[in-house]
Amino acid sequence: METNSTQGNEPKIRKFVLDEDVKLGEQVSISKGTEIMVRKPGSGELRGLTLMALSQLDVDALHKLAPRITTPVILQNATMDPADLMQFGGEVMDFLLPTAAKQAASQTE
């Protein structure tokens, strides 16, 4: 996991590498080993989703959000390996956590 910061300590883009291919039906749309950039979602990208669903790593919510904030674009109806979906969800969760919560968690480690 890699981060890029544009302001202060908070990254606006996070990255992860796919463990497995992302497929549309039987066709590979994004090959394993591809680096996926995840952009911090704004209110527009979150429209129609609930923060509760995202915080629970709800698969449907993550699939709806993915095409809005990923490069290359992971399409909503694409099939992802559960480990890759978990990586994506982790990046989303990190964006949603308030800075104070992140600082408190890092102090307990």
Residue 103 or 24, more confident? 24
Please check whether residue 103 lies inside any domain of the structure. no
Asked if residue 42 belongs to a domain, the reply is yes
Give the pTM.
0.84
Average pLDDT, the chain: 90
Quick one: what percent of the chain has pLDDT higher than 70? 90
How many domains, in total, are found in the chain?
1
Confidence at 52, pLDDT banded by 50, 70, 90: very high
Residue 67, both tokens: 């095409």
Q: Are 74 and 67 in contact (CB under 8 A)?
A: yes
Residue 82 gets which letter from DSSP?
A: H
In a domain, 99, yes or no: no
pLDDT at 27 over 90: yes
Q: In this predicted model, which residue has the larger pLDDT, 2 or 93?
A: 93
In one-letter notation, the amino acid at residue 66 is: A
Can you give the pLDDT at residue 6?
Answer: 44
Residue 105 maps to a domain: no
Q: 90 is written with which tokens?
A: 């982790």
CA distance 29 to 67: 13
Residues 62 and 90: their CA atoms lie apart, in Å, by: 10
